[in-house]
């Protein structure tokens, strides 16, 4: 196998060199010059254009009540939640005042097979995101122990809480921050709307494999850290 | 995948009058081209964005060997296994052996043209391993045993009653329906079951990033995410050219790929994988196998005139704008790649002799070259193929000119240098065509549907002389 | 006093000489002295497109020798102009001195409408046409040479002419030289589609700058929509009377 590798690389390196001009620059995307409110409006508009629902809330109380409403409206009884510090701080258990709503976490299940079985059968996944990107209304999730992959994929409904302080103008801003802090995870997922297809007679169908509905709750947490770029 | 490139003319004839194909070709393709323009207009300077993308791909291919080495090193550092396959057969064998070693009962696949090129499904079928395509369009054509109609909508032209029939026969659907949404739901239910228990998922790669050893996939459905995250083993196949140097370059190419393909700023899901899952993660593959496949591409690379084809990012912009494709759809191209890029790749991978209609049936209108974000000059390469074919190029498997073709070309070449010869020859030719031409197949090809003006007695040269 | 050598494509010389007569008339009207180099033969495009590059070189050698001493060479065809301007230099990649001569010639060759607007700096040629005009953007003219604004400016400046929108104006009409008879089914479908757009535009006449497209489109019109026709831009501009397109 090594000889295949070496043969290929040798052929490539010995071939006649082509002249490769420098990369021409392009004008910066307008989002880089936007203030926080413009970025937020652009983010919301882009996400809505991709058929996601967006609710803007101020403070934890409004966040919790909006979540409660979303859960009730969608008749959700079993919800699997990501386990990052922010989600933990939401005190979700108290939202299930009647025992009909069950919140579970992936780590509740010591056996990964049982976790997988469970996540395929819950009504909704509830996660935070690491970044929200204004240029296209994109959510970026850094998958890790605390933010499992299937949570935002297997259930029919994906509920997302986005802190406004994680909003950045363009993808590069997010990647830069990511590389400066935790580095690249095993998987980084960009989500821009629900799962979609139009493969049958060009008729749109949502929820082909992933979530049918993407419900985003955008929390204005600007009272805390100020860090857009 | 069966090679049917020699049935081009016959298939094209059928498709020109096929009502379900016509509906989509006449409506769907102009829409895709239009939304592409709208998508690109979200750049402050769309043309500058295109030029940057072209330069990125030119550089990526220019530095291909070096980038591949860097990619391999970084991918392995992140824990991925990297396998270099010289041919499609090598790649297929690797996957088959992996399946047998781990006793994998079945595999699921994301939409991947490279695996179509490899004929992977047939190899696995012979091995007794069921393969489930999970992209809705690919799933449908797999069941119907049809080739893809279009790069983005492989089954978009298929009538719903045909889909209903096959779903009831082979996808466990119980109640008949012609509703595309209900059919989609039926496919979802059938494939979800496969996702729940799968042990190996196979994907292609839209882009590999050398500086981080990452692979990137774009999709709207979520099936590729499942193929990556539900099983214990993930196999992702890339041909050698699918690589860029840095994350920054990858991000720009992602913007271009999505806008050029479907007009979206970004598809619903983009996943960037760097190694398999970490040991403390709840889900994700324990093993990530990246197959880097050559299958004739280092040979393409060695020729600076054909190397440019490796810049392609498979966005589909050329396919959607091509006037010939808009009339005939994907079937006549007869193999994994269709449209203008198919006119370049199929001949290079299969031989000029088997694919002469592909690069022959082109008006050289330049629409493809105009829209290509990867900087490929399709018309120049098509002309190069025609020349190499006539000259019986040994490397590219040119067929050579027929006796009469060469005779006419040589005669014309001589006459073209001597005005007296030229004028005599064209006068004779004019008379011959107007007096005796009506029976000749080439003349009939014109006059069947079009009138031809009567040959004027005086040429302009005659008129000018007086 | 401007002088221009006329490069007349074979299709015009042999089949549609009226286009050359009209082009010459218009140029004279604009004060240009035209010269017709009698020893010209053909640019070799057909042979080149078939893949016979060596034979195309024979045509090119002769062509360059015939035309290279003129300051301006004017041609009423986009594809032929593009052949000389863009393909000739690449044909001689392996012959530096011929390549240089080809490159010099490519700075002196102009398509007909390009010459009038960009060199003579004229848009109002004194043409007149009472009615709606649609314009077909021939592929080589539009994409290979980047000529699109010029013919449209000339049409707009014609007295009484109204340039109307036509759908898919820049989509190929399906001629493509040998393509039209080697792949007739596809070619017919393409010209049918082009004609459909023309008819839908409501224009009284379709104007274009490529003799090949003209043969193709008029051929289809005559068989399927007699009474509607297309016209070369040279013929269109030559009209000065109260001519109404049919």
Per residue in B378-413, pLDDT tens? 999 999 999 999 999 999 999 999 999 999 999 999
Q: B216 with B272: CB under 8 angstroms? A: yes
Closest residue by Cα to residue C39 from A124, B418, B43:
B418
Chain C residue with minimum CA distance to B34: C168
Chain B residue with minimum CA distance to A151: B283
Test A8 with B212 for CB contact under 8 angstroms: no
Tell me how close the Cα of B99 comes to any Cα of chain A, in angstroms. 19
Chain B residue with minimum CA distance to C66: B417
Test C189 with B455 for CB contact under 8 angstroms: no
Q: What is the 3-state secondary structure (H, E, C) of B393-433?
A: CCCCCCCCCCHHHHHHHHHHHHHCCCHHHHHHHHHHHHHHH
Test B16 with C184 for CB contact under 8 angstroms: no
Distance CA B320, CA B298 (A): 28
| B463 contacts in chain C (CB < 8 Å) | 17, 20-21
Angle (CA) B178-B180-B181 rounded to 5° is: 120
Phi, psi dihedrals of residue B73, rounded to the nearest 5°: -60, -45
- The answer on B183 and B114 residing in a single domain is no
**Cβ within 8 Å of residue B368, ≥6 positions away:** B318, B321, B322, B339, B340, B376, B378, B379
3 state DSSP class of B310 = helix
Test A12 with B214 for CB contact under 8 angstroms: no
Give chains near C: 3+ CB pairs under 8 A: B
The predicted-structure confidence for B17-54, as pLDDT tens digits, reads as follows 999 899 889 988 999 999 999 999 999 999 999 999 99
**Cβ within 8 Å of residue B275, ≥6 positions away:** A186, B75, B77, B78, B79, B80, B213, B288
| A120 contacts in chain B (CB < 8 Å) | 192, 195-196
The residues of chain C scoring below 70 in pLDDT are 241-246
Q: How many helices (H) and strands (E) does chain C have?
A: 14, 8
Backbone Cα Rg of chain C? 18
Tell me how close the Cα of C22 comes to any Cα of chain B, in angstroms. 11
- The answer on B361 and B420 residing in a single domain is no
| B431 contacts in chain C (CB < 8 Å) | none
Test C176 with B365 for CB contact under 8 angstroms: yes
The predicted-structure confidence for B428-459, as pLDDT tens digits, reads as follows 888 888 887 778 888 889 999 999 998 898 99
Give the percent of chain B with pLDDT over 70: 100
Between B62, B272, B281, which is nearest A188 by CB? B272
**B275 Ramachandran zone, left/alpha/beta (phi>0; psi -120 to 50):** left
Q: B255 with B265: CB under 8 angstroms? A: yes
Chain B residue with minimum CA distance to A109: B282
**Beta-sheet pairing, B214-219 with B269-273:** antiparallel
Test B84 with A112 for CB contact under 8 angstroms: no
CB burial of A109-120 (b: ≥16 within 10 Å; e: otherwise) equals: beebeebbebbb
Which of A208, A211, A212, A213 to mutate to test binding with chain B, by most B CBs within 10 Å of its CB?
A: A208
Specify the CATH number for the domain of residue B307.
3.40.50.10420
| B390 contacts in chain C (CB < 8 Å) | 50-52
Tell me how close the Cα of C4 comes to any Cα of chain B, in angstroms. 15
3 state DSSP class of B156 = coil
- Please indicate whether residue B452 or residue B70 has the higher confidence score (pLDDT): B70
Cα B376 vs. chain centroid, distance in angstroms?
14
Q: What is the 3-state secondary structure (H, E, C) of B208-267?
A: EECCCCEEEEEECCCHHHHHHHCCCEEEEEEECCCEECCHHHHHHHHHHHHHHHHCCCCC
Give the percent of chain B with pLDDT over 90: 91
Test B307 with A50 for CB contact under 8 angstroms: no
**pLDDT at position A225:** 42
Q: B419 with C39: CB under 8 angstroms? A: yes
DSSP code per residue over A166-218: GEESSHHHHHHHHHHTT---SEEEEE-SS-EE-TTTT--EE-SSS-SEEEEEE
Domain C125-238 adopts which CATH fold?
Rossmann fold (3.40.50)
ipTM of predicted assembly, 2 dp? 0.95
Chain B, residues 316-345, CB within 8 A of chain C, namely 323-324, 326-328
Tell me how close the Cα of B393 comes to any Cα of chain A, in angstroms. 19
Phi, psi dihedrals of residue B294, rounded to the nearest 5°: -90, -65
- pTM of the model as a whole: 0.95
Which of B25, B416, B439 to mutate to test binding with chain C, by most C CBs within 10 Å of its CB?
A: B416
- The answer on B338 and B322 residing in a single domain is yes
| Cα dihedral B320, B324, B326, B332 in deg (nearest 10) | -100
Closest residue by Cα to residue A41 from A115, A132, A122:
A132
Q: C189 with B12: CB under 8 angstroms? A: no
Map tokens 């059938």 to a residue.
B190
The predicted-structure confidence for C76-103, as pLDDT tens digits, reads as follows 999 999 999 999 999 999 999 999 999 9
Cβ of C141 under 8 Å from any chain B Cβ?
A: no
Test B135 with A199 for CB contact under 8 angstroms: yes
**Cβ within 8 Å of residue B168, ≥6 positions away:** B174, B176
| C62 contacts in chain B (CB < 8 Å) | 416-418
- The answer on B216 and B105 residing in a single domain is yes
Which of A201, A202, A206 to mutate to test binding with chain B, by most B CBs within 10 Å of its CB?
A: A201
Q: How many domains does chain B divide into?
A: 4
Mark which of B315, B338, B358 sits at the end of a domain. B315
What's C148's DSSP letter?
A: -
Distance CA B398, CA B396 (A): 6
Test B187 with A7 for CB contact under 8 angstroms: no
| A173 contacts in chain B (CB < 8 Å) | none
Test B387 with C219 for CB contact under 8 angstroms: no
Between B387, B416, B455, which is nearest C41 by CB? B416
- The answer on B422 and B383 residing in a single domain is no
Q: Does an interface of 3+ CB pairs under 8 Å exist between C and A?
A: no
Q: Where are the alpha helices (DSSP H) in C120-163?
A: 139, 149-157
The residues of chain A scoring below 70 in pLDDT are 1, 98-99, 223-229
Test B84 with A26 for CB contact under 8 angstroms: no
Test B460 with C21 for CB contact under 8 angstroms: yes
Closest residue by Cα to residue B117 from B450, B349, B462:
B349
Cβ of B19 under 8 Å from any chain C Cβ?
A: no
Give chains near A: 3+ CB pairs under 8 A: B
Between A17, A24, A201, which is nearest B51 by CB? A24
| B196 contacts in chain A (CB < 8 Å) | 116-117, 120
Closest residue by Cα to residue B191 from B153, B240, B224:
B224
| A52 contacts in chain B (CB < 8 Å) | none
CATH architecture label of A33-195+208-220:
3-Layer(aba) Sandwich (3.40)
**pLDDT at position A223:** 64
The overall average pLDDT reported for chain B is 95
Angle (CA) A200-A206-A210 rounded to 5° is: 110
What's C41's DSSP letter?
A: -
The sheet carrying B107-109 orders its strands as B81-85, B287-293, B233-239, B200-203, B107-109, B131-133
**Cβ within 8 Å of residue B377, ≥6 positions away:** B308, B369
Distance CA B145, CA B310 (A): 29
Residues paired with residue A132 on neighbouring β-strands, in sequence order:
A139, A167
Between B62, B220, B254, which is nearest A197 by CB? B220
Chain B residue with minimum CA distance to A154: B226
Angle (CA) A52-B133-B294 rounded to 5° is: 105
Distance CA B446, CA C220 (A): 10
For helices C211-224 and C184-201, angle between their N-to-C axes, nearest 10 degrees: 80
CATH class name, domain C2-118: alpha beta
| B161 contacts in chain A (CB < 8 Å) | none
3-state helix, strand, coil in chain C (%, to 5): 50, 15, 35
Q: A33 with A42: CB under 8 angstroms? A: no
Question: What does chain A come to in residues?
Answer: 229
Tell me which residue range forms the domain holding B356. Answer: 1-41+317-400
The predicted-structure confidence for B204-253, as pLDDT tens digits, reads as follows 999 999 999 999 999 999 999 999 999 999 999 999 999 999 999 999 99
- The answer on B309 and B224 residing in a single domain is yes
Q: B235 with B202: CB under 8 angstroms? A: yes
Q: C70 with B385: CB under 8 angstroms? A: no
Tell me how close the Cα of A199 comes to any Cα of chain B, in angstroms. 5
Residues of chain C with CATH 3.40.50: 2-118, 125-238
**pLDDT at position A92:** 85
| B414 contacts in chain C (CB < 8 Å) | 58
Q: Tell me the CA end-to-end span of chain A in Å, nearest whole number.
A: 46
Test B226 with A20 for CB contact under 8 angstroms: no
How many Cβ atoms are within 10 Å of B248's Cβ, its own excluded? 17
Closest residue by Cα to residue A4 from B63, B120, B294, B68:
B294
Question: What does chain B come to in residues?
Answer: 466
Tell me how close the Cα of A79 comes to any Cα of chain B, in angstroms. 17
- The answer on B439 and B420 residing in a single domain is yes
What kind and span of H or E run contains C187? helix C184-201
Mark which of B349, B369, B400 sits at the end of a domain. B400
**Cβ within 8 Å of residue B77, ≥6 positions away:** B213, B275
Q: Which two tokens stand for residue A204?
A: 């749109």
């Amino acid at each position: 196998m090594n000889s295949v590798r070496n043969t290929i690389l040798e052929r490539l390196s010995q071939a006649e060199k082509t002249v490769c001009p420098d990369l021409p620059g392009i004008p910066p995307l307008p989002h880089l010059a936007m203030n926080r409110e413009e970025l937020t409006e652009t983010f919301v508009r882009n996400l809505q254009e991709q058929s996601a629902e967006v609710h803007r809330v101020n403070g934890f109380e409004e966040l919790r009540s909006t979540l409660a409403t979303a859960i009730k409206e969608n008749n959700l009884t079993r919800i699997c939640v990501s386990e990052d510090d922010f989600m933990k701080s939401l005190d979700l258990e108290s939202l299930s005042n009647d025992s009909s709503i069950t919140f579970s976490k992936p780590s509740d299940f010591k056996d990964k097979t049982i976790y997988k079985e469970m996540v395929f059968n819950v009504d909704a996944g509830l996660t935070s995101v690491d970044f929200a990107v204004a240029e296209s209304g994109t959510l970026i999730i850094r998958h890790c122990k605390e933010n499992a992959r299937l949570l935002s994929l297997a259930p029919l409904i994906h509920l997302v809480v986005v802190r406004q302080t994680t909003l950045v103008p363009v993808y590069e801003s997010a990647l830069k921050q990511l590389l400066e802090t935790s580095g690249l995870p095993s998987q980084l997922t960009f989500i821009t709307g629900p799962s979609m297809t139009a493969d049958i007679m060009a008729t749109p169908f949502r929820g082909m494999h992933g979530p049918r509905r993407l419900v985003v709750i955008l929390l204005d947490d600007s009272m805390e850290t100020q860090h857009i770029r | 995948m069966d090679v049917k490139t020699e049935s081009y003319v016959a298939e094209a004839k059928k498709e020109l009058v096929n009502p379900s194909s016509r509906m989509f070709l006449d409506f769907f393709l102009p829409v895709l081209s239009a939304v592409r323009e709208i998508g690109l207009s979200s750049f402050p300077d769309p043309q500058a964005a295109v030029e940057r993308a072209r330069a990125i791909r030119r550089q990526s291919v220019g530095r291909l060997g070096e980038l591949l080495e860097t990619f391999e090193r970084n991918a392995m550092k992140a824990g991925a296994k990297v396998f270099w396959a010289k041919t499609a057969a090598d790649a297929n064998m690797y996957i088959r052996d992996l399946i047998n070693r781990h006793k994998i009962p079945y595999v699921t696949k994301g939409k991947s043209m490279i695996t179509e090129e490899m004929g992977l499904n047939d190899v696995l079928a012979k091995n007794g391993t069921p393969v489930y395509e999970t992209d809705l369009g690919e799933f449908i054509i797999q069941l119907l045993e049809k080739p893809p109609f279009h790069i983005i909508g492989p089954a978009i032209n298929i009538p719903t009653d045909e889909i209903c029939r096959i779903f009831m026969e082979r996808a466990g659907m119980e109640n008949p329906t012609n509703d595309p949404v209900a059919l989609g739901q039926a496919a979802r239910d059938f494939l979800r079951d496969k996702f729940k228990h799968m042990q190996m998922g196979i994907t292609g790669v839209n882009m590999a990033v050398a500086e981080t050893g990452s692979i990137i996939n774009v999709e709207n459905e979520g099936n590729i995410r499942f193929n990556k995250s539900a099983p214990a083993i993930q196999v992702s196949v890339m041909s050698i050219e699918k690589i860029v140097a840095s994350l920054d370059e990858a991000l720009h190419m992602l913007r271009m790929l999505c806008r050029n393909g479907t007009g979206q700023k970004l598809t619903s899901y983009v996943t960037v994988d760097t190694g398999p899952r970490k040991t403390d993660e709840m889900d994700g593959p324990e093993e990530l196998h990246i197959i880097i496949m050559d299958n004739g591409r280092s040979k393409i690379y060695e020729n600076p005139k054909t190397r440019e084809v490796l810049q392609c990012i498979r966005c589909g912009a050329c396919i959607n704008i091509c006037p010939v494709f808009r009339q005939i759809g994907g079937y006549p191209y007869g193999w994994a790649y269709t449209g203008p890029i198919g006119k370049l790749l199929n001949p290079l991978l299969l031989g000029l002799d088997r694919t002469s209609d592909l690069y022959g049936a082109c008006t050289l209108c330049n629409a493809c070259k105009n829209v290509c974000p990867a900087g490929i000059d399709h018309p120049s390469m098509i002309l190069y193929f025609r020349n190499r074919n006539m000259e019986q190029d040994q490397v590219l498997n040119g067929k050579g000119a027929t006796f009469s073709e060469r005779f006419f070309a040589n005669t014309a070449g001589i006459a073209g240098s001597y005005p007296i010869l030229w004028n005599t020859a064209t006068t004779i030719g004019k008379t011959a065509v107007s007096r005796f031409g009506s029976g000749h197949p080439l003349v009939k090809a014109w006059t069947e549907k079009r009138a031809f003006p009567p040959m004027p007695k005086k040429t302009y040269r005659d008129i000018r002389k007086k | 006093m401007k002088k221009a050598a006329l490069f007349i494509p074979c299709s015009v010389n042999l089949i549609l000489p009226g286009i050359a007569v009209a082009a010459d008339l218009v140029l004279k009207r604009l004060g240009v002295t035209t010269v017709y180099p009698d020893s010209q033969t053909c640019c070799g495009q057909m042979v080149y497109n078939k893949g016979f590059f060596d034979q195309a070189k024979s045509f090119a050698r002769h062509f360059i020798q015939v035309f290279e001493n003129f300051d301006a060479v004017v041609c009423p065809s986009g594809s032929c102009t593009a052949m000389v301007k863009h393909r000739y230099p690449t044909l001689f990649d392996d012959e530096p001195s011929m390549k240089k001569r080809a490159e010099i010639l490519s700075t002196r060759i102009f398509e007909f409408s390009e010459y009038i607007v960009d060199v003579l700096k004229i848009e109002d040629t004194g043409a007149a046409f009472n009615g709606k005009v649609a314009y077909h953007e021939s592929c080589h003219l539009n994409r290979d040479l980047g000529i699109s604004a010029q013919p449209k400016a000339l049409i707009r400046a014609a007295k009484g002419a109204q340039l109307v929108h036509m759908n898919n104006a820049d989509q190929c009409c399906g001629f493509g030289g040998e393509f039209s008879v080697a792949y007739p089914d596809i070619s017919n479908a393409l010209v049918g589609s082009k004609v459909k757009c023309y008819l839908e535009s409501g224009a009284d006449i379709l104007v274009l700058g490529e003799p090949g497209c003209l043969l193709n489109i008029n051929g289809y019109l005559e068989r399927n929509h007699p009474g509607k026709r297309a016209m070369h831009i040279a013929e269109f501009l030559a009209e000065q009377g109260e001519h109404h397109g049919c």
